Amino acid sequence: MKIIHMSDLHLSADGALVWKEDCRRRFLTAIRQIKMMRDIDAIIVSGDVSNDGSLDSYYFADRIFAELNIPTYWCAGNHDNLNVMFTTFRPKFCYLSNQALIGGWRLYLVNSVAKDNDKPNSNRSKGIVTMNIRNELDGQLSKNPEPSIIVLHHPPLEIGGWQDNKILKERETFRELLCHHKNVKLVLSGHAHTFSVKKNENILYSTASSTGFAFSTELPKYEIKQGQEGFS
Ligand SMILES: [Fe+2]
């Protein structure tokens, strides 16, 4: 099976630059590259589809992904507006469901986005998977025997750079849950805007870079690493 893992598209309604980077143009470049690839079974986008949470940005992404005609699954990131994304937006092509089956593998799309209590219109940068969501996932992983891929925006394993201050809270608890299920093989995340891959307790953890702008574990916080943007 061949999967493309994309993350952190950071699209805006009017194509406005984000951190002086043209995320819309770079997203379209990624799409052109994917058009040249063969036999892709699915595309997984691990959050931050939008930078401004606008309805237009979601419709734009949905319309562009439809051109590829490859099943495409999204989860939310901290820059996404969960209300717009899951309530107002009606995707014509992409899937926003919690679960899917692809080629005998079960995909779980887990929400790790937490509201910022001080700023009602935005989300916290750090992520959390609530106890309710953890319990639901635990039950589903026990019930469904297929090999499984877990997708969530915030990495549940350290990647070794400044980004580790911004990843999933209570991540040891989350990883412990995954370890109890031998069917969990792969965990895909974004948020760090850096490619990484690590094995922990027989589970492969990978973060995709951002299609819009990349960071590096080697560079100071929020310094952009040109040329490292892309997808896995
Ligand atoms: Fe992001």
Q: Does domain 3-207 have CATH number 3.30.450.40?
A: no
Q: Which residues are found with C-beta within 5 Å of the ion, ligand 1?
A: 8, 48
3-state secondary structure of 27: helix
Distance 145 CA to ligand 1 centre (A): 32
The dihedrals phi and psi of 142, each to the nearest 5 degrees, come to -75, -35
CB neighbours of residue 163 within 10 Å? 21
Instruction: State yes or no: pLDDT of 205 exceeds 80.
Output: yes
Spatial CA neighbour of 214 closest among 203, 206, 223: 223
So where are the chain's domains? 3-207
In this predicted model, what pLDDT tens digit does every residue of 159-201 receive, in sequence order?
Answer: 999 999 999 999 999 999 999 999 999 999 999 999 999 999 9
Instruction: Dump pLDDT digits (tens) for 53-108.
Output: 999 999 999 999 999 999 999 999 999 999 999 999 999 999 999 999 999 999 99
Ligand 1 center to residue 142 CA distance, Å?
A: 31
Task: Look at the pTM and tell me if it is higher than 0.95.
Answer: yes
CA 177 / ligand 1 centre spacing (Å): 25
- Which of 218 and 120 is assigned the larger pLDDT? 218
Q: Residue 118 has what pLDDT?
A: 84
> Which segments of the chain does DSSP mark as H helices, in order?
23-35, 55-68, 82-83, 131-143, 171-179
Q: Which residues contact 37 (CB under 8 A, 6 or more apart)?
A: 4
Please choose, from the candidates 184, 114, 122, the residue with its C-alpha nearest in 3D space to the C-alpha of residue 149.
184
Q: What would the pLDDT profile of 108-117 be if each residue is shown by its tens digit?
A: 999 999 988 8
Q: Are 42 and 71 in contact (CB under 8 A)?
A: yes
User: What is the per-residue DSSP string for 182-196?
Assistant: TTEEEEEE-SS-S-E
pLDDT at residue 117 in the model: 84
Q: Any idea which of 1-15, 86-100, 107-121, 213-227 has the lowest mean pLDDT?
A: 107-121
Residue 175 CA, ligand 1 centroid: distance in Å: 22
Which residues are bridge partners to 203 per DSSP?
200
Per DSSP, 108 falls in state E
Q: β-pairing, 99-102 with 72-75?
A: unpaired
144 C-alpha to center of ligand 1: Å? 31
DSSP-derived secondary structure for 165-223: GGSBTTHHHHHHHHHT-TTEEEEEE-SS-S-EEEEETTEEEEE---SS----SSSPTT-
136-149 pLDDT, tens digit each: 999 999 999 999 99
β-sheet bridge partners, residue 196: 207
**Ligand 1 centroid – CA 192 distance (Å):** 7
